[in-house]
Amino acid sequence: MNMILTLIIFIPILGALLGSLVRASIPLLRLLAIVTSLFVLGLSWILAWYFDPHAGMQFVHIAPWIQNYGITYYVGVDALSLVLLLMITLIMPLLYLYMWREKRHGYWYNMMALQTGVLGAVLSLDLILFYLFWETMLLPVFIMIGRYGNTDNQYNAMRIVVMTIFGSMAMLFSMLYMGYLFFQSHGFWSFSYNDIASLSLDPRTSIVVAAGFLLAFAIKIPLPLFHTWMAPAYGSSPTPAVVILSSIMAKLGIYGIWRFGFGLFESTLEYYVTPLIVFALIGVIFYAIHAIMEPNLRRMFAYSSGSHLSLILLGLMLENVYTWNGSLYLVATHALASAGILIMIGMIYRRVRSITIDDLGGIAQVAPRFAFFFSFFALSIAGLPGTGGFVAELLIIIGAFKYSMIVGVFAALTMIAAITFVFWMLQRTLFGAPSTVTAGFQDLGRIDLLILTPLALLLLLTGLAPSLFTQLFEPALLEMLQAIGRYR
Amino acid sequence: MNQTLLLLIVILPFASAAIMGMAYLFTSLRDERIYSFIGIATPVAVTLFSLILGVQMLSNDTTFVIHSTLFEWLHIGEFQIAFSLMADRLSAVMISFVSLIGTLIHIYASGYMRDDIGYGKFFAYFNFFLGAMLLLVLAQNPIIMFIGWELVGLASYLLIGFYHQESGNITAANKAFIVNRIGDFGFVIGLALLFLAIGDKGFGFDAIRAHISLVDPGLLAPIGILLFVGAMGKSAQIPLYVWLPDAMAGPTPVSALIHAATMVTAGVYMVARFDFLYELIPSVGLFIATIGIASALFAAIIACMQSDIKKILAYSTMSQLGYMFVAVGLGAYSAGIFHVFTHAFFKALLFMGAGAVIIALHHEQDIFKMGGLKTRLPLIFATMLVATLAISGIPPFAGFFSKDAILVHAFAGGHIYIWAIGVLTAFLTAYYMFRLFLIVFITPAKTAHRTTEVGMSMKWPLAVLATGSALTGFLGANEAYGGSNLFGTFIHLGDRVHHVDHSTEYLLGGLSVAVALAGMMLAYLRFGKGASEPKADTPWRALAINKFYIDEIYNALVVVPLRYLSILFDRFDTLFVDGTINLMLLGYRGAADAFGTLQNGKVRYYALYILIGISLLSLAMLRMTRSPL
Amino acid sequence: MPEYYLALAALLFCIGLVGAVSRRNLFVIYMSIELMLNAINLMLATFARAQNDHGGTVMALLLIAVIASEAAVFLSMIITLFRTNRTIDADFFTNLSQEQNP
């Protein structure tokens, strides 16, 4: 049973290796990708079934790796990583389905490598191992954007890599320094999460070291002022990569702050709480307004993603039971909704070779099914009741009022923030008379429905019966909050 | 049994909406009979169920409340929300007439929408709308109520934008949703504050009622106002009313449903639902009444100058809603709900009559292009006359009793200004309604036009509603008029009671009838013989015709700045953020260039570099060893 | 009196160094390099003699052989360069400079 996480992490890349060894043809590669991802999906559901919400870290697997420096292969799952794990394993098979007709081998290999990267980053509990996976997931994205993207793709690929590596380097220095401090105090090396967490740093060092971590995560999320890589990268990357960027990698920034920020620096974080809250509040409004006039659909939802991630971060920093649950729930539901909408934007691009809003219009008339799903996902991004986003936003708003009146009012603005651009976008994309571009717009086919229906149904379920999902993580979050003294 | 019925009332419409929606979307099934059968059977069943519940309420005492819990919706810390429904007397009354009038509108729509390509979609949306409204009314706690509240907004968005090929319709739909969402912004803040104050003791309406005294009195007023902000949006009160006139972009049955039975009455219902809260904060109540009466007068003034038949009715809805808010604001909750009840009948009738006229004249909506339809459309003429008399407050039609109850309450409560403006609005109401009625039916037409026959399914709902508009008033007639206020006694809300002499009541009633008759007279004098469109010849008239330029003002204050801000942010990104990054890059590149010039490709220079390097190294070594040569 | 020999060697080396760095004619550069190598040779021989250790002598002899073979390679390269470019100006050959390969 304790091998299960290792299997989950490495099966995708093993599939890719197998494919490259036998020089697989596209159909075989497709089969490999789908089978491995479905297998991983099944494993993660088994994991969720046996998961005990009250037991903290589970399914731990430790193996020695670089013993001289105390670097171990150390993976485990708790409520926090379980949510991300389930989300990733669900989205990946759908992305492979989306890539069904993809003829370029590299595309498939990169996606499989990417899956291992993100899964590893979510599950690893050794700092160095985490860093390794953290960078591993960046490389395939770099290749995907640089090689298979469009419009300035190489420049934008370089930009995302340079900016995120800039943050990662800061994080690596912090990690190494903490390992060194551990060595100084204990006489042997260790980078294991538990050992580093037990380290007591003096406040001044701790602030600097925490800054390294926060910089990496702030760029990944991204917070305003660290965000200029985002829209260009979204704009020029191919659809599978953009889904991963928005639904998974950005969430990993949040996960990082949650795991390492609160795990390693819970007392130091006090110094950062106020600035981060301000950044997050600015982000919620700034990105939403930014999206209003954005002519490119993909870039628009890049900003939308930024707005929601800022809200998630806000919930995280407010540190109470409502906002934490709301944030974690929003992580999952926003991933579903944004995967849905970005996949559908990819479908638009496939059909009419344009995702500029001004070219579109009238899709509802020629392709009603498409319009239905598209507006469903768009509305769930806007936080409509009946979808999980509403529940999460409600929780964050309530929690924000618990924190302070002003923060609460700003957090409640998120009710309006998303609709300012979503509805106008829907009007210009779906409604009105069909343009010359969209006149022959094809409605959703069978594979398309196969991709979108699970996402839509799940979103609906998260909105109708949220307690079904929250009970997976609510007790664990309560315990975490109790541990940092934020819940009696 | 009762629990099951209660659940079915909410679930049935959603289920049939889902079934019809899926059938429309994923199959080639386009048979109108199937859709209209499912679409109408559902509200009929719901009406039956609600009447069963209502009858049980009649035979039991006031503590008889039906609860029904489906499952635990959310449980986070103290935040425990069950997906529960609750039917007490107030909600039983609401669901009864909502579903009854909803049914009639459904039947009417089955004729109105005939041969429309989106027939199945229409009924799916319609049932969804009904389900959302029933969820709102039957919710056991404010959170579930808020879900219904928002879903009603979504349904209105879908239906207003039903003819989505016209981009303008979508603009109207967007406006409706966004303005509603702005109201919900206030509502959700109010809910959050309320929850944080007493939510740990349970958040059902019962629990809130039981613990409301524990809330800090300083917090009650903000909560009351914020909840009312939500109602402003949903019930189209100043300043969030702008979506209502534009909502006429939807098909006429939609307007009837939005304006008569669902959606706009939600705000009034919500205030009545929270009567225990508003009872503790009379000053907020006065604020609500002030907003209400201002909206009533404002809308009535605009309505006097409009020429689109549906827009006139839209403004009249806003005006009548103003009366309802006066009632609930001043503590006459049952009177407010009673006006909701009677208004549902005559407003549905007005819209459906207007729709029939529009259909008969091949989608003509300008009243000044109509005229003399009395003989051509006799049934519609007769039913519209009943509705017009009802809304104008002429006894014995329904509107008189409900409006009079509100005005008497305002007068008796000492709010003379509100009462006076109410009477003035009654005068204007009679004036603009008869203006509409005369121009459409009596005044000879300037141009002859052909009319088509209106189907049976559109006619007999009108007759039913006309009967209702004529008779329902007696349910709430109080002692002065020989009744015993059956409605108010049954619904049993925490009204503030002011005792009024019968003579005073006769006086006030007589005055408002006289005022209404005066309004009708004025309308007859100006439009009885011939009518022409209102001209913007004086500044005041121009102001009223252009709806006081409120849309333009909002546009200039909110929409345009947001768009410019968006562009500004883009500039900020490229100039400031990217600029800073590029500045750093520039330094890096400069250094690279500087070092690059050293690499000129000439071997001799390289040799020189080696020489310098070795010399420096040797010097360093010499210094380190400190030994002389 | 090894100092004199060493001084001569240093002098020769410096002359070669200055020549290699400052002259543009490839032949002169070549000769300067030879001069430096020979200065080293002289130094090796001097130390071998002074310390009575014949390892240095062996080294010097080996170096003479290397210098001879190097001369063959170098001269042929210069001839090839002259054939292709009709010049033996060292500053003409700047293929590795930054300006040419931006």
pLDDT in tens, A144-165: 998 888 888 888 898 899 889 9
Q: Which of the other chains make 3 or more beta carbon contacts under 8 angstroms with chain B?
A: A, C
Identify all chain B residues contacting A368, using CB atoms and an 8 Å cutoff: 25
What residues form DSSP beta bridges with C89?
Answer: C25
Q: Give the model's confidence band at B627: pLDDT under 50 very low, under 70 low, under 90 confident, else very high.
A: low
For B441-473, what is each residue's pLDDT tens digit? 888 877 767 777 777 888 888 888 898 888 888
Q: Do B602 and C91 touch (CB under 8 A)?
A: yes
The answer to whether residue C102 scores a pLDDT higher than 60 is no
Q: Please name the residues between 158 and 217 in chain B that touch chain A, using a CB distance below 8 Å.
A: 161, 164-167, 170-171, 174, 177-178, 181-182, 184-185, 188-189, 192-193, 195-196
Say if CB C16 and CB C34 are below 8 A apart: yes
Name the amino acid, one letter, at B239: P
Distance of CA B487 to the CA centre of its chain: 25
The two structure tokens encoding residue B35: 């859709």
Q: Kindly calculate the radius of gyration of chain C based on its CA atoms and give it in whole angstroms.
A: 17
Mean pLDDT of A346-359: 91
Instruction: Output the pLDDT for position C101.
Output: 46
Q: Please name the residues between 9 and 68 in chain B that touch chain C, using a CB distance below 8 Å.
A: none
Nearest chain B residue (CA) to C21: B604
Q: What are the Cα distances from residue A293, in Å, to A277, A289, B314, C53, C68?
A: 26, 8, 32, 86, 76
Q: Is the peptide bond before B444 cis (omega within 30 degrees of 0)?
A: no
Identify all chain C residues contacting B599, using CB atoms and an 8 Å cutoff: 96-98
Instruction: Output the pLDDT for position A9.
Output: 93
Q: Do B167 and A431 touch (CB under 8 A)?
A: yes
Name the amino acid, one letter, at B48: L
Backbone angles phi, psi at A64, to 5 degrees: -65, 150
Q: Do A409 and B189 touch (CB under 8 A)?
A: yes
Q: Where are the domains of chain B?
A: 554-625
Q: Give the model's confidence band at B548: pLDDT under 50 very low, under 70 low, under 90 confident, else very high.
A: confident
Identify all chain A residues contacting B554, using CB atoms and an 8 Å cutoff: none
Identify the residue whose tokens are 């009854």.
Answer: B100
Taking the C-alpha atoms of residue A24 and residue C46, their distance in angstroms, rounded to an integer, is: 69
Q: Kindly calculate the radius of gyration of chain B based on its CA atoms and give it in whole angstroms.
A: 32
Q: What are the Cα distances from residue B132, in Å, to B11, B142, B146, B183, B232?
A: 10, 14, 10, 18, 19
For A242-265, what is each residue's pLDDT tens digit? 999 999 999 999 999 999 988 888
Say if CB B344 and CB B368 are below 8 A apart: no
Instruction: Share the mean pLDDT of chain A.
Output: 91
Distance of CA B582 to the CA centre of its chain: 50
Q: Do C21 and B600 touch (CB under 8 A)?
A: no
Q: Which of B596, B599, B611 is opposite residue C21, by nearest beta carbon?
A: B611
ipTM score here? 0.92
Identify all chain B residues contacting A372, using CB atoms and an 8 Å cutoff: 25
Top-confidence residue, B597 or B222: B222
Nearest residue to B562 via CA among A292, A419, A295, A224: A292
For A27-83, what is each residue's pLDDT tens digit? 999 999 999 999 999 999 999 999 988 888 889 999 999 888 889 999 999 889 999
Q: What percent of chain A shows pLDDT beyond 90?
A: 64
Of all helices (H) and strands (E), which one includes residue A58?
strand A58-66
Mean pLDDT of B89-104: 90
Nearest residue to B320 via CA among B296, B344, B286: B296
Name the amino acid, one letter, at C76: S
Identify all chain B residues contacting C96, using CB atoms and an 8 Å cutoff: 599, 601
Size of interface B-C (CB pairs under 8 A): 36
| Close Cβ partners of A313 (under 8 Å, ≥ 6 residues apart) | A221, A223, A254, A257, A276, A279, A280, A283, A327
Taking the C-alpha atoms of residue B457 and residue B468, their distance in angstroms, rounded to an integer, is: 18
Burial degree of B614 (CB within 10 A; 0-12, 13-18, 19+): exposed
Beta pairing, strands A71-77 & B66-76: unpaired
Using H for helix, E for strand and C for coil, what is the string for A257-288?
HHHHHHHHCCCCHHHHHHHHHHHHHHHHHHHH
Burial degree of A137 (CB within 10 A; 0-12, 13-18, 19+): buried
What residues form DSSP beta bridges with A192?
Answer: A126
Mean pLDDT of B493-510: 84
Beta pairing, strands A58-66 & B79-87: unpaired
Identify all chain C residues contacting B607, using CB atoms and an 8 Å cutoff: 20-21
Q: Do A397 and B192 touch (CB under 8 A)?
A: yes
Q: Chain B contact for A331, CB < 8 A? A: no
Provide the shortest C-alpha distance from residue A138 to chain B (in Å).
21
Q: Give the model's confidence band at B375: pLDDT under 50 very low, under 70 low, under 90 confident, else very high.
A: confident
Instruction: Output the pLDDT for position C16.
Output: 92
Q: Which of B596, B601, B607 is opposite residue C94, by nearest beta carbon?
A: B601
Q: Do C21 and B608 touch (CB under 8 A)?
A: yes
Chains C and A touch (3+ CB pairs under 8 A): no
Taking the C-alpha atoms of residue A292 and residue B199, their distance in angstroms, rounded to an integer, is: 37
Q: What percent of chain B shows pLDDT beyond 70?
A: 99
Question: Best-predicted range by mean pLDDT among B354-368, B419-433, B488-502, B548-562?
Answer: B419-433
Instruction: Output the pLDDT for position A217.
Output: 93
Taking the C-alpha atoms of residue A97 and residue A89, their distance in angstroms, rounded to an integer, is: 13
Identify all chain B residues contacting C90, using CB atoms and an 8 Å cutoff: 602-604
Identify all chain C residues contacting B602, using CB atoms and an 8 Å cutoff: 90-91, 93-94, 97
pTM metric for this prediction: 0.89
Q: Do B164 and A401 touch (CB under 8 A)?
A: no
The two structure tokens encoding residue B495: 């009204």
Q: Which of B597, B604, B608 is opposite residue C90, by nearest beta carbon?
A: B604
- Count of residues making up chain A: 488
Q: Please name the residues between 558 and 617 in chain B that touch chain C, using a CB distance below 8 Å.
A: 596-597, 599-604, 607-608, 611
Q: Please name the residues between 160 and 219 in chain A that touch chain B, using a CB distance below 8 Å.
A: 163
The answer to whether residue A375 scores a pLDDT higher than 90 is yes
The answer to whether residue C37 scores a pLDDT higher than 60 is yes
Q: Chain A contact for B18, CB < 8 A? A: no
Instruction: Output the pLDDT for position C42.
Output: 93
Identify all chain A residues contacting B188, using CB atoms and an 8 Å cutoff: 394, 397, 412, 415
**Angle between helical axes of A4-21 and A26-50 (0-180°, round to 10):** 180
Instruction: Output the pLDDT for position B506.
Output: 87
Q: Please name the residues between 267 and 296 in chain A that touch chain B, using a CB distance below 8 Å.
A: 286, 289-294
Provide the shortest C-alpha distance from residue B587 to chain C (in Å).
18
The answer to whether residue B482 scores a pLDDT higher than 80 is no
SS3 B97: helix
Backbone angles phi, psi at B49, to 5 degrees: -60, -45
Instruction: Output the pLDDT for position A85.
Output: 94
Instruction: Output the pLDDT for position A396.
Output: 94
Chains A and B touch (3+ CB pairs under 8 A): yes
Instruction: Share the mean pLDDT of chain B.
Output: 88
Say if CB A338 and CB A381 are below 8 A apart: yes
| Close Cβ partners of A126 (under 8 Å, ≥ 6 residues apart) | A65, A71, A72, A73, A74, A191, A192, A193
Nearest chain C residue (CA) to B603: C90
Say if CB B6 and CB B66 are below 8 A apart: yes
Mutation target vs B (from C91, C93, C101; most B CBs, 10 A cutoff): C91
Mutation target vs C (from B598, B600, B618, B629; most C CBs, 10 A cutoff): B600
Nearest chain B residue (CA) to C14: B611
The answer to whether residue B326 scores a pLDDT higher than 90 is yes
Q: What is the DSSP secondary-structure string of B144-190?
A: HHHHHHHHHHHHHHHHHTSSTTSHHHHHHHHHHHHHHHHHHHHHHHH
Burial degree of A406 (CB within 10 A; 0-12, 13-18, 19+): exposed
Provide the shortest C-alpha distance from residue A27 to chain B (in Å).
30
Nearest chain C residue (CA) to B611: C17
Q: Do C98 and B607 touch (CB under 8 A)?
A: no
Positive or negative CA dihedral for A92, A98, A103, A106? Answer: negative
SS3 B242: coil
| Close Cβ partners of B620 (under 8 Å, ≥ 6 residues apart) | none
For B522-536, what is each residue's pLDDT tens digit? 988 888 777 677 777
| For chain A, the helix, strand and coil percentages under 3-state DSSP, each to the nearest 5 | 75, 5, 20
Mean pLDDT of B488-499: 81
Size of interface A-B (CB pairs under 8 A): 137
| Close Cβ partners of B279 (under 8 Å, ≥ 6 residues apart) | B331, B494, B496
Q: Which of B601, B608, B611 is opposite residue C95, by nearest beta carbon?
A: B601
Q: Which domains does chain C have, with CATH numbers?
A: 2-89 (1.10.287.3510)
For B208-245, what is each residue's pLDDT tens digit? 999 888 888 889 999 999 999 999 999 989 888 899 88
Q: Chain B contact for C25, CB < 8 A? A: no
